[in-house]
Amino acid sequence: MRAMKGTTILCVRRGNVVAMAGDGQVTLGDQVIKEGAKKVRRLYDGRVLTGFAGGTADAMTLLERFEKRLAEHGGNLVRAATELVKDWRTDRVLRRLEAMMLVADRGTTLLLSGAGDILEPEGEACAIGSGAGYALAAARAFLESSEARADEIARRSLVIASKICIYTNDSITLEVLED
């Protein structure tokens, strides 16, 4: 898997809460083009969270395809992800897309890539993008050392990543699923 420059997406699970957060910075080369992009979204009547890293047009294309696959498979996250990644890997146009996605519902978090990866991460946190390592390290530390909710951990971890990664800012979109 190739690390994507230009964003940080983090998914944290704790108890019955699933939180996905993403920064809002869009860069073109060494310039910040936009500070408030929304890279984390709710799909399937708000029951699925998705976040993307990589080229914006590529990510939007994949997001649209994933939403269609969710509808086709009645919201089954694993089946929809499997079909999307199969298309992504085999379709002549889609396989050129450069992006990664995190998708989550109440029970599962998956990391998807154009290399054919569908990974269910271990533990309670997963991240993609240029600031992924920083956000993931912070989230793991908060998970071990505090009783904070998943949404608080996700927000605080992204703020930390934004202070280290030049492609990540603190304009955070946060979506939460809970019972």
Task: Judge whether 88 lies within some domain.
Answer: yes
Amino acid 52 reads F
Q: Dump pLDDT digits (tens) for 132-152.
A: 999 999 999 999 999 999 999
Catalytic residue set: 7
What does the alpha-carbon distance between residue 102 and residue 120 come to, in Å, rounded to a whole number? 10
Number of domains in the chain: 1
The first and second tokens of residue 46, run together, are 């708000």
In a domain, 178, yes or no: no
For residue 165, tell me if it sits in a domain.
Answer: yes
Per residue in 11-70, pLDDT (tens digit) is 999 999 999 999 999 888 888 888 998 999 999 999 999 999 887 777 788 889 999 999
> Which pLDDT belongs to residue 153?
98
Domain membership of residue 3 (yes or no) is: no
Residue 179 placed within a domain: no
**Domain span at residue 77?**
8-171
pTM of the model: 0.93
Which ranges in the chain belong to alpha helices (H)?
56-72, 77-90, 132-145, 150-162
**Distances 102 to 3, 32, 67, 130, 145 between C-alpha atoms, Å:** 13, 23, 13, 14, 25
* CATH code of the domain containing 24: 3.60.20.10
Residue 88 in contact with residue 95, Cβ under 8 Å? yes
Confirm whether 118 is domain-assigned: yes
